[in-house]
Each structure stands twice: as C-alpha cells, then as structure tokens.
Amino acid sequence: MTFPEWPKAPIGIDAGHWISRPVRRTVLAVAHSMVSCQRLLDVIGLIEGDTRIQVVFTVGPDVFNHRVAGYLERLDALVLPWQQAVRERFDLAVAAAHGGLRHLHAPLLVMAHGAGHAKPVRSVPDGLPPGTDPPVYGLDAQRLLHDGRVLASALAHDHELDVLRRQCPPALDAAVVVGDPCLDRLVASLSRRRAYRHALGVDDDQRLVVVSSTWGRDGLFGHRPDLLPTVLADLPARRYRVAALLHPAVWDAHGHRQVRAWLRDCLAAGLLLPDPTVDWRSLVVAADHVVGDHGCVPAYAAAIGRRMLLLPDPPARPGSPPPVAEGTPQHLVGVGASRLAPHRPLAPQLDAARRIDHRAVAAAVTSRPGRAGPLLRRTMYRLLRLAEPARHHRRAEPLPAPCPAAWQAAR
C-alpha cells in the first residue's frame, strides 16, 4: 500500500476531520500470523466494546503473515498498513508475537500465542556455555529488551516468572500473570460437546480422531507424511471419523492448494480438513482421541481430558535444542502420553492409550484458571490509564459450532 492509500481515519493528524465519534484512547492490535491473530481476537474483544476506545489492527512482520490481512478484512476489522502503524502513536499495542514491536510507538503488552512459552530459542547470538540450557523463546532478553525499553508480558503461569527471573530480570516487574484465555474457552465449551459433534456429522456411536500437526520438519505432517493416509485406511469409516488440524504455518509455507492436493485422496476418504482460519478448538472439544506431536494442540487437548497418542520424536539434529522446554505443558504431555507405533494397527492403540492426568496438565497450562478474561482486561485498562467499567465482565464464552459446509465453500 503506497502512502496516498493510507487510511486518513481514525488515526493521523487530520483524523478529527473525518471521524464521527471522538474517543479517548486508540489501541493497536498487531497480528503477525493466523495463530497469533486467533489469540489476539480472544483478547481484544475484552475492550473493543468500550465507547472510549478505538481499536485498529495491523499485520506485523512475520514469515507466515501473508493471509492475515485478508482474514482481518473479512472480519470487517480496520487494518492499517504496517508502514503507517510504525509512524503513528497509540495508547496501547497488543500482540501475541514479537516481530517488529521495537518500531512501534506505544506501551506494549505481549502474550504467548500457544500453551505458554514452551519452545527453546533455536539460535543464541553469543552462543551458550557448554551444558547450559537454551533460553525459552518469548521470555528471553532478545525478545523483551529493546534499547533499554522493556516489553510488558502477559503470562499464563507463575512458573514463567521464575523463567523470567533467570533469563531476563529487567522484564520481571513489567510482567503480569493473567492465565490462559484459550484454555478458559475450551473449558467453557465442554457442555456443548455433543452439539459440536453433530455439527461435524459425527454420529453418537462413532469416535472422532483428531490428528494434529505443528509446523516444521519435526512436526507430524513433515516427519510422517504417510500417517494421515494410514490412519484413514486403518480405521473403519462406520466407527470412526478423522479430522486433521494442521498448523497455519504448514498452509502458509506450502500454499493452500498444494496442501489440499497432497491430501486429495484423504479428503475423498472422508477426512475433515478445516481451513486454518477456522477456530480449531471446537474440534478438540468434540474429539474422542488426539494423535499429535509436540505442538500446543495436544497440550490443550490433554488439559480437557482427551485421550492421547503422540508420535515418537524424530532423531534430534546435532546441536539443536529439544523441541520443548522442561516443565511446560507440552513436556508434561510428552512424558505422560502413550507413543504411537505407526506400523501397528491403530484402533487397539487408541483403546489402550493411557489417560494423562488432565488436571495436572491444566495446572501446568494456567495458574489462573477461569480468570484470564478479567485479568487481561484489568491489565489493558491499567496500561491505557483508564478506569475499568464497573460492570462485571462476562465469563469465558463457549466456542462457535464448527461448520464443515463453510470449509467446503472456502476451497
């Protein structure tokens, strides 16, 4: 977008000529990818109904950001080009990733876009002493300190304060533990499980198996490309339905048409394959079993009691960090879940999969269960220097029902 095409309202020196309603604060929501965008939408909805506040969106720099602007525009969001966003001042910027944040002129609130901060940093500028664990991504000085400026972090768990204390002490005072809004919505949706299953076309006597893959070569989709065809061939259609949840970065890196082409035979065999713009959480609530890897979806699924089979980890590349940090929900699931034997019949493995203590996993995801909405809302109003409205905020809302007919129409 070139300069003459930049929106002239509701921000900018001449915006007063064009707006219909004056506001006291302007908030910038920075969406870097589809994953971070989905987390951001849960959070920004906590304040955007306030008549004192104007919310605008922008797409932050990220390898996987090229479909985000179109998605936001389909939601009727007002989207500023990044080049304009970095030249304006805002009263608060909220993000669920870190790219380019140092260039913004606003107080910043940054949160994780998955189940806490679980991934070790893959490369450290100055290297690491022998025997030292790599820092945890998102809680490290490289992400949180910029020219003496400290980014405020919204954390899911008290354990992350301990990580900050080790890795980035200057960011400790700016951090606040608010819990996990994603898990809160999953829990709020459990009573609608049967409705979600019927919306998916899953009969009461069928089991729904959700196969989940994170992105990258060590994810299920990259490491075992034969697994989805094997699952569909192995499980009788009259007793099982199979859905695949592929990390949005898989779609972005390879292209939507290509991913569907690779899975054409699976789709013909009945695979449910939601577009990455679809909220994946209702499928996890509806599932009987989840087959996955070290990504966030199995951690959330385990936290609400879904039975789990994890793919064995691929061989570690020399010098590479472990896929997840110790003490995280993903690590707890990796230690407790049964491992999939890809060359053995799947149905007996699903039946024999041991149950993970879902309360322990949920306790590892959040130390403020059910409270993320009110705590995030309070934090944003504090940073905005506005009095929080007196009315009590609603509890976490149940998720919308899945709509497979819309997935088909979007292809």
141-156: per-residue pLDDT in tens? 989 998 888 999 999 9
- Sequence letter at residue 279: D
For residue 5, what pLDDT band results from cuts at 50, 70 and 90?
confident
**pLDDT higher than 90, residue 183:** yes
**pLDDT higher than 60, residue 128:** no
**pLDDT higher than 60, residue 169:** yes
- Return residue ranges of the chain for CATH 3.40.50.2000: 188-365
* pLDDT value of position 324: 80
* pLDDT value of position 109: 97
**pLDDT higher than 60, residue 410:** no
- 63-98 pLDDT tens trace: 999 899 999 999 999 999 999 999 999 999 999 999
Question: Strand, helix or coil at 32?
Answer: coil
User: For all residues of the chain together, what is the average pLDDT?
Assistant: 91
**pLDDT higher than 90, residue 3:** no
**pLDDT higher than 70, residue 54:** yes
Strands 145-146, 25-31: pairing is unpaired
Mean pLDDT, rounded, for 337-358: 94
CATH number of this structure's domain 188-365: 3.40.50.2000
DSSP string, 264-307: HHHHHTT-B---TTS-THHHHHH-SEEEE-SSHHHHHHHHTT-E
**pLDDT higher than 80, residue 377:** yes
Global confidence as pTM: 0.93
Q: pLDDT above 90 covers what percent of the chain? A: 77
How many other CB atoms are there within 10 angstroms of residue 385's CB atom?
Answer: 11
For residue 379, what pLDDT band results from cuts at 50, 70 and 90?
very high
281 CB-side CA count, 13 A: 25
For residue 174, what pLDDT band results from cuts at 50, 70 and 90?
very high
CATH number of this structure's domain 3-182+368-384: 3.40.50
**pLDDT higher than 90, residue 313:** no
**pLDDT higher than 80, residue 1:** no
Rounded to whole angstroms, the Cα distance separating 186 from 137 reads: 25
- The answer to whether the beta carbons of residues 28 and 104 sit under 8 Å apart is yes
How many other CB atoms are there within 10 angstroms of residue 354's CB atom?
Answer: 10
Rounded to whole angstroms, the Cα distance separating 17 from 10 reads: 10
State CA 266 to chain mean position distance. 26
Rounded to whole angstroms, the Cα distance separating 286 from 209 reads: 9
How many other CB atoms are there within 10 angstroms of residue 184's CB atom?
Answer: 22
How many other CB atoms are there within 10 angstroms of residue 237's CB atom?
Answer: 11
- 281-299 pLDDT tens trace: 999 999 999 999 999 999 9
